[in-house]
């Protein structure tokens, strides 16, 4: 996501560390704070290795809310423009499409729209369809791709569920239902 040219990023910290790819002490990591409309204060962690070119970006809300679950029903075309911030520790699921984006060792958070989330899934699904080994796998993959296309056109209702054990994710809509667990209690 592009930030506005007049965005006032506050540099919180900067350091050079060992790159996980080339092993050299040439990975410059910068941590910024930004007060984002509709989302609130966020942290951007940006890294670039001066030696091998490895890059990463992570984004999350400034404050942790504790273990959280966010549920958002996408019911029409305008819901596709809703902002979604998924932290690197969160799992994002769309049950109707049997789709999941899970955290892993190299997981990065992202800030995009519902449409952007669907396009990320579409890119992966298209690769899987090309690599299908049997005709049955290919047909199943193409069926899922057609369902995803309906969701991208606003013709199929879907639900986005984000489960974040650290509570740094957000869906910027009044329709989003957020459950927060703090020390074993639901709020």
| Contact assessment for residue 1 and residue 112, using Cβ atoms and an 8 Å cutoff | yes
> Which residues, 6+ apart, have CB-to-CB distance to 53 below 8 Å?
none
**Which of the two residues, 43 and 183, has the higher pLDDT score?**
43
pLDDT tens, position by position, 70-115: 999 999 999 999 999 999 999 999 999 999 999 887 788 899 999 9
Q: What share of the chain is helix, strand, coil (3-state, %, to 5)?
A: 25, 40, 35
Question: Which residues have CB under 8 Å from 149's CB, separation 6+?
Answer: 122
pLDDT at 2: 52
Give me the pLDDT at residue 147, please: 94
Q: How confident is the model at residue 165 (pLDDT cuts 50, 70, 90)?
A: very high
Round to whole Å and give the CA distance between 26 and 60: 24
């Amino acid at each position: 996501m592009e930030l506005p040219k007049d965005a006032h990023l506050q540099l919180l910290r900067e350091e050079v560390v060992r790159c996980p790819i080339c092993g050299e002490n040439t990975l410059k990591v910068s941590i910024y704070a930004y007060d984002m409309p509709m989302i609130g204060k966020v942290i951007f962690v940006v890294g670039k290795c001066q030696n091998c070119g490895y890059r990463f970006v992570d984004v999350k809300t400034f404050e942790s809310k504790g273990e959280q679950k966010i549920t958002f029903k996408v019911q029409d075309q305008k819901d596709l423009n809703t902002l979604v911030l998924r932290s690197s520790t969160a799992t994002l699921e769309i049950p109707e499409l049997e789709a999941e984006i899970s955290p892993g060792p190299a997981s990065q958070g992202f800030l995009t729209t519902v449409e952007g989330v669907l396009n990320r899934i579409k890119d992966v699904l298209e690769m899987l369809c090309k690599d299908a080994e049997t005709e049955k796998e290919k047909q199943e993959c193409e069926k899922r791709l057609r369902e995803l296309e309906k969701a991208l056109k606003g013709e199929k209702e879907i639900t986005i569920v984000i489960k974040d054990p650290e509570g740094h994710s957000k869906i910027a809509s009044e329709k989003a239902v957020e459950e927060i667990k703090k020390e074993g209690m639901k709020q």
